[in-house]
Amino acid sequence: MRADVQEKISVAARDLMKEPITIKKSSSSMYDVIKKLLECDISRLLVMDGTENIVGIISEKDVGLSLLSEISERKINEIPSSETMKPVLSVDESLCVRECAKMMIDRNIGSLGVCENKRITGILTKTDLVNYYLQNHTGLKKVRDVMTLSYVSGSCNDSVHDIITEMIRKRVSRIILKNQDGIPKGILTFRDIFQISMIFGQEDVVVNNTHSSIPEVSPRTGFISESGFGNATMADEVMTNNIVSVDHNDDLTSACRAMIENKINGVGVLMNDKLVGIVSKTDVTQAIASWSPFDTI
Q: What percent of the chain has pLDDT over 90?
A: 55
> Is residue 3 over pLDDT 50?
no
Tens digits of residue pLDDT in 130-170 = 999 999 999 999 999 999 988 899 999 998 888 888 888 88
H-run or E-run covering 82: none
Total domain count, the chain: 2
Task: Indicate left, alpha or beta for 211 from its phi (over 0: left) and psi (-120 to 50: alpha).
Answer: beta
Quick one: average pLDDT of 71-94? 88
Asked, for residue 75, whether it belongs to a domain, the answer is yes
Are 119 and 169 found together in one domain? no
> Is residue 282 over pLDDT 90?
yes
**pLDDT at position 153, please?**
92
Whole-angstrom distance, CA of residue 116 vs CA of residue 119: 5
Are 39 and 107 found together in one domain? yes
Tens digits of residue pLDDT in 250-262 = 999 999 999 999 9
Range of weakest confidence among 7-16, 100-109, 211-220: 211-220
Average pLDDT, the chain: 85
> Is residue 40 over pLDDT 80?
yes
Q: Please report, for the domain that includes residue 103, its CATH number.
A: 3.10.580.10
**pLDDT at position 212, please?**
47
Nearest-5° angle of CA 68, CA 49, CA 94?
Answer: 95
Whole-angstrom distance, CA of residue 43 vs CA of residue 163: 19
Tens digits of residue pLDDT in 47-60 = 999 888 899 999 98
Q: What is the pTM of this model?
A: 0.83
| CA separation, residue 115 to residues 89, 94, 119, 121, 143 (Å) | 10, 9, 5, 6, 33
Are 280 and 166 found together in one domain? yes
Asked, for residue 136, whether it belongs to a domain, the answer is no
> Is residue 210 over pLDDT 80?
no
CA 100 to mean position of chain CA atoms: 18
Nearest-5° angle of CA 163, CA 280, CA 149?
Answer: 80
